[in-house]
Structure 1
Amino acid sequence: MYIQTVLGRIQPEELGVCACHEHLYIDLSRVKKNTDTCLQNLDLVVEDLKVFLQYGGKAIVEMTNDGMGRNVKKLVEISKLLDLHIIASTGCYKDPFIPQEKINWDRDEFAKWMIDEIENGIDGTNIKPGVIGEIGSSFNEFKPVELELFYGAIEAAKTTKLPLSTHTTLGTLALEQVELFIRENLPLHQVVIGHQDLNEDDEVVLEVLSSGVYIALDTIGKENYRSDMSRMKSLLYFLERGYEDQILLSSDVTRQSHLLSRGGQGYSVVLRKFIPALREMGVLETTIEKLLVKNPQKAFSIRKEG
């Protein structure tokens, strides 16, 4: 069992405090037509990450994939500079962010391409991804190309044993994603269902958890969507119901304005604000250790030798 970082394999226990869903070098401006969504200033990102490190952060799962401005050489630079574990991604996001040359691909083409990146490296480098993600569905629907992408990602996950992490638009379609994974016989311990803090229906999220997948409460600090106090209440409810072994935390920084230097929440918001508030509410240190360290260790481990 190992975790694949941009600098090579590490043992799961080396991972440390991990943010399960972030973006360190991303550009969504092609679709969003907003320069704020181009976050490619390494100096600004590195300064922000230093605060993450000061609060005990050790690892980032970097969910930027093909079509989102992915550049794994930049991730290697950041990793070496800060002594930060970074896990890179293979796959595509969702319509309309899928690259033009892949928009008509079927599941076999997606699977073959992802498996090639996993086995040989990304974009002609020898830098290998450690996760298939973020694989996305649209708001309350799978677009046809997204379904092909999901099937391809499932095949790649079954073949390579890499974890598969998803995007749910505003938290929707999580159950449908889980049902798809079950139908296709993908082991659910390999799956992280994303953005479940954007689904305010706690009972639906509990149903997702009951399947055995991990869920990511990974837009912490984005209070324009939902208050962090509301997120916290949902998390406490899930913990009371016994799901402390299946929950991951992050903040999904994607914009320049999300950085501390620009008045945003920063990569450190979970460690700086959310975790202290959980402590004040009486959440045990053993539980916090699971949310930040032990659950990511398990979720992003590749259970395969060779």
Structure 2
Amino acid sequence: MCDAHDHLFLSSPRLPGQELRDASAATAELVAFREAGGGSVVQWTPYGLGRRAADLPLLSRATGVHIVAATGLHQAAHYAPELIDRLRNGLAHLFVAELTEGLATSGVRAGFIKVAGGFHALDAHARWTMTAAAEAHHATGAPIAVHLELGTGALDVLDLLCGELGVPPDRVILGHLNRSPDLMVHRQAAEAGAYLAFDGPSRANHATDWRMPDAVRALAEAGFGDRLLLGGDTTTAGARSVDGGPGMPYLLRRVRPRLELALGAALVERVLTVNPGLAFAVEW
């Protein structure tokens, strides 16, 4: 059972005082996830945001949960301008190195590339990072996972990555579609061949828990059950289950049974096992 989008470690100036830095809390969260039936977690924390790559193998061995690490770059607002300037001419090379050689000195190779769009648009930073991600994909075959700001811009992302830059659609994972429950856009993205991630349950300020079953049922009934992914997207310490929030176990404890009522148990099991295995597969 795979949580296809979550965070064990994350630090950003946009989340002051809410950083995920505590390794013991990350371990406890993984244990809680495993006890709920979880077996793997895809950490979408990219370069420069405190992903603590060297700790990931230790956590995985201690808890028995497989962890997939990311390279990539988030929106510009998450970084100091000088860091962006330093990466300006070597971003694709960085992504390739982290996919093939390892993250920093940890020896942990990234399994995918995480980038981000903007609200209903792709600014110059998004186009730059996605162009580098496409170059790294063509060099390695690694999938590209995209943060869609408030769930918007999915078709613009596909036009750029798949249309202009030649990335196969089944190597693109669109994140946060639950935040913009536009069933027509979801259908068009699925028809294009991308994977659609509904990630971030229980966020009261987003259209998540209460609309998500309708969105995924519409896609399943249209024949796109093999395109669906589910994730928790725990981004703050207070959102962890061990700190009183829903956390990673919520995905299996509450979201899974609710979706089984809408989709049936067999399809939900595929969404949590087979689909992420294919979406994040890489032939090294």
TM-score by length of 2: 0.94
**1:160 maps to 2:130:** no
**1:20 maps to 2:4:** yes
Letter in 1 for 2:270: K
Equivalence map 1:254-265=2 (5 Å): 254-265=235-246
Candidates 101, 120, 126, aligned match of 1:146: 126
**1:42 maps to 2:26:** no
**1:112 maps to 2:93:** yes
Distance in 2, matches of 1:125 and 1:46, equals: 19
TM-score by length of 1: 0.88
Once the two structures are TM-superposed, the CA of residue 84 in structure 1 deviates from its matched residue by: 1.1
**1:289 maps to 2:269:** yes
Once the two structures are TM-superposed, the CA of residue 97 in structure 1 deviates from its matched residue by: 1.4
Equivalent residue number for residue 5 of structure 1: none
Distance in 1, matches of 2:153 and 2:116, equals: 10
**1:246 maps to 2:227:** yes
Equivalence map 1:195-274=2 (5 Å): 195-274=176-255
Distance in 1, matches of 2:87 and 2:63, equals: 39
Equivalence map 1:174-185=2 (5 Å): 174-182=154-162, 183-185=164-166
Q: Which runs of 5+ in 1 are unaligned?
A: 1-16
Distance in 2, matches of 1:107 and 1:245, equals: 37
Using the TM superposition, name which of 43-52 and 190-199 deviates more: 43-52
Equivalent residue number for residue 122 of structure 1: 103
Equivalent residue number for residue 300 of structure 1: 280
Tell me the SS of whatever aligns to 2:196: strand
Tell me the SS of whatever aligns to 2:116: strand
Equivalent residue number for residue 170 of structure 1: 150
Letter in 2 for 1:177: V
Can you list the C-alpha shifts for 1:175-228, whole angstroms capped at 9, x where unaligned?
000111222111111110111111111111111111001010011222321240
Using the TM superposition, name which of 254-263 and 85-94 deviates more: 254-263
Distance in 2, matches of 1:119 and 1:44, equals: 29
Once the two structures are TM-superposed, the CA of residue 105 in structure 1 deviates from its matched residue by: 6.2
Q: How many residues are aligned here? A: 283
Once the two structures are TM-superposed, the CA of residue 31 in structure 1 deviates from its matched residue by: 3.1
Distance in 1, matches of 2:270 and 2:88, equals: 35
**1:31 maps to 2:11:** no
User: Structure 1 residues 210 and 108, CA, compared in 2 at 3 Å: closer, same or farther?
Assistant: farther
Distance in 2, matches of 1:240 and 1:273, equals: 22
Paired residues of 2:148 and 2:175 also in contact (CA < 8 A): yes
Paired residues of 2:122 and 2:156 also in contact (CA < 8 A): no
User: Structure 1 residues 64 and 75, CA, compared in 2 at 3 Å: closer, same or farther?
Assistant: same
Tell me the SS of whatever aligns to 2:212: helix
Can you list the C-alpha shifts for 1:96-150, whole angstroms capped at 9, x where unaligned?
11454442367762111111111211112321001111x0012222221221111
Paired residues of 1:66 and 1:99 also in contact (CA < 8 A): no
Equivalent residue number for residue 72 of structure 2: 91
Distance in 1, matches of 2:193 and 2:208, equals: 27
Paired residues of 1:103 and 1:145 also in contact (CA < 8 A): no
User: Structure 1 residues 40 and 22, CA, compared in 2 at 3 Å: closer, same or farther?
Assistant: same
Distance in 2, matches of 1:126 and 1:290, equals: 31
**1:61 maps to 2:38:** no
Once the two structures are TM-superposed, the CA of residue 172 in structure 1 deviates from its matched residue by: 1.0
Letter in 2 for 1:26: L
Once the two structures are TM-superposed, the CA of residue 261 in structure 1 deviates from its matched residue by: 3.1
Paired residues of 2:121 and 2:156 also in contact (CA < 8 A): no
Once the two structures are TM-superposed, the CA of residue 154 in structure 1 deviates from its matched residue by: 0.6
Paired residues of 1:107 and 1:151 also in contact (CA < 8 A): no
Paired residues of 2:40 and 2:65 also in contact (CA < 8 A): yes
Q: Which runs of 5+ in 2 are unaligned?
A: none
